[in-house]
Structure 1
């Protein structure tokens, strides 16, 4: 009897000691306490982080453009990935059933079911519950409870509350996975808006061209249509017609000024009395010119005319103030036939005073 009782006491004590050790190990792991008896490994080599290549601080612009194109090309083929770290191996207390075992990581099939539930509710098409904005191209997080949020919004919510609970269903210790359903729907919406704007522009241009070419059936609109057409035609004619009114008026002013100058010279030459000394100078110039024929009749200035038998009478010559010489008879006939009231020389068209030689 004593031996059996001792065996039972020894067995109960061993179980209690095992449970105590298991609890102690579990608490140390939760509190991240290290074993003081375990020696730390000393690494004398250079850390791997320091072996990385140092990138240039100067921004040339080429690297960012390459990064943008790379991100744009990889955006269509973006892969989903889990954000949670791998769970630590179970402690002795969890293996003995003394502590509740944490949830195991979800498989790809479980994540697919959770995403299908979210898609059936159109969660990715709705705004984020936390910030009330569309997901757009920002990172989107799917929880194991099938609710979706912005990654930044969820992290800010966790920091604010100090615990890991879903903002929708209050589930604790959820798992997170990055998905891209919101980005896909955002691209589809953008493409739809661009196509709608382009089609609207095409239809509007076609309709405006139709209104410009085909007259409407309503009488008032038809009248207005033809009035606009006539106005367009007249404006086009005016634009193609280069009148140059200013240049025409300037030319008229110049002509009038020139005519006034000519009449002033004529009046000055006819009204002023020429002195005998000036007549001598004019006659000298006429002699120097050496003209021996009358410019009107083309006959010699000093020839004789036998008009009355044997009697010979010389033709008289006239000297003009412009130094030209004519037969007196020819000049008088020219003055009678001239239509202008002002006397002008038949050769130089200048006003003159005459003197018989």
Structure 2
């Protein structure tokens, strides 16, 4: 191995014929030292502790109690989805690689080159198609773009590499590709979800508008028009019934009382204004004779000139007139005995 002094001497005498050979040897020596990871073998070395010792180390415990002293941030910044390369950055070129004595490793693609590769993939709309390996949509899972412009799920590609033991593109068999995490599939998935949500919402709005339109505008077909107005009438009736707050039993009882009062009115009307014929008066007089009343029910004296009522009761004319004057406020003439509305006729007993 060449010492540092020999290297310096060769650098001071570049005209020497052996300088090129020396530089070549030094470059090759430096390359193999770095390739084989041969470093300094002297001096102190850092020795890490094992897992047993790590477990015994005391961990710093932080308080989780909210004391209120910490200021809460209302505006939480959402991290933007950033693309990043998965391949490890190659080490710097050795002297031998710079001289061309050893093949230099392939360098990583630049940002402009990656943009060109992504444009090729987007033109083919690969992110809109399912993953070639699992045949499922990309969704929100991590998506990997290869340097050959093909896209896969990151987990699917890792499983494929582990299964085959080679780094080969599953589509075009390109070897030793470079990979980069992109988010075109997640963007397309969010766009599809937003489109579906908007379609459902617009459909709901249109259905509500159509229902209101059908409730307000009658159709032109005669049968449908008749059905439309029947439903309208039924709706109005139901709303009227719901707006009424009453007891059904009390309502029916009130109806019975009103009906009975109406019947009494018509009955009294017939008794007062339906003029009896001579034959009817003879029948009433016959009933009074069969009753054989000899005293006036008002003054309890013998009947003289008398008044026969249509209810077959007999009174003094003066007594009945006096009673009628006392009940002037009441339009109805009720018999003092049976309380029936009467018509009267003067007779001689």
Q: Could you tell me the TM-score, scaled by structure 2's length?
A: 0.55
- How many positions carry a matched residue from both structures? 239
Distance 1:126 1:97, change over 3 A: same
Distance 1:23 1:337, change over 3 A: closer
Deviation for aligned residue 1:119: 0.7
Distance 1:56 1:157, change over 3 A: farther
Distance 1:137 1:44, change over 3 A: closer
Task: Decide which of 188, 212, 216 is 1:213's aligned counterpart.
Answer: 216
Q: Say whether the 8 Å CA contact 2:117–2:148 is kept in structure 1.
A: yes
> C-alpha root-mean-square deviation of aligned residues, in Å?
4.6
Q: What residue number does 1:339 align with?
A: 338
Q: Say whether the 8 Å CA contact 1:145–1:171 is kept in structure 2.
A: yes
CA distance in 1 between counterparts of 2:63 and 2:131 reads: 38
Deviation for aligned residue 1:185: 1.8
**CA-to-aligned-CA distance 1:229-285 (integer Å, 9 cap, x gap):** 122122222222345223457899xxxxxxxxxxxxxxxxxxxxxxxxxxxxxxxxx
Deviation for aligned residue 1:113: 0.4
Q: Say whether the 8 Å CA contact 2:139–2:189 is kept in structure 1.
A: yes
Deviation for aligned residue 1:98: 5.8
Distance 1:25 1:152, change over 3 A: same
Task: Decide which of 181, 184, 187 is 2:187's aligned counterpart.
Answer: 184
Distance 1:86 1:172, change over 3 A: same
Distance 1:57 1:148, change over 3 A: farther
Q: Say whether the 8 Å CA contact 2:27–2:94 is kept in structure 1.
A: no
Does 2:97 match 1:89? no
Deviation for aligned residue 1:22: 7.9
**CA-to-aligned-CA distance 1:328-348 (integer Å, 9 cap, x gap):** xxxxx9xx823269xxxxxxx
CA distance in 1 between counterparts of 2:129 and 2:60 reads: 43
CA distance in 2 between counterparts of 1:222 and 1:188 reads: 44
CA distance in 1 between counterparts of 2:47 and 2:213 reads: 83
Deviation for aligned residue 1:37: 3.6
Task: Decide which of 222, 237, 241 is 2:240's aligned counterpart.
Answer: 237
Task: Decide which of 24, 28, 46 is 1:42's aligned counterpart.
Answer: 46
SS class of match (2:108)? coil
Deviation for aligned residue 1:177: 1.3
Matches within 5 A, 1:1-357: 25=33, 28=36, 34-35=38-39, 37=41, 39=43, 41-42=45-46, 70=77, 73-74=78-79, 77-90=80-93, 94=97, 97=100, 99-247=102-250, 337-339=336-338
SS class of match (2:46)? coil
CA distance in 2 between counterparts of 1:52 and 1:105 reads: 40
Deviation for aligned residue 1:108: 0.8
Q: Say whether the 8 Å CA contact 1:147–1:168 is kept in structure 2.
A: yes
CA distance in 2 between counterparts of 1:38 and 1:158 reads: 40
Q: Say whether the 8 Å CA contact 1:26–1:92 is kept in structure 2.
A: no
SS class of match (2:200)? helix
CA distance in 1 between counterparts of 2:58 and 2:93 reads: 35
CA distance in 1 between counterparts of 2:83 and 2:59 reads: 27
SS class of match (1:174)? coil
Deviation for aligned residue 1:87: 0.5
**CA-to-aligned-CA distance 1:24-76 (integer Å, 9 cap, x gap):** 658635xxxx558455633799x9xx999756799xxxxxxx9xx65xx22xx
Q: Say whether the 8 Å CA contact 1:142–1:149 is kept in structure 2.
A: yes
SS class of match (1:149)? strand
**Gapped regions of structure 2 (runs ≥ 5):** 1-17, 66-72, 256-297, 300-322, 324-334, 341-349
Q: What residue number does 1:309 align with?
A: none
CA distance in 2 between counterparts of 1:57 and 1:170 reads: 53
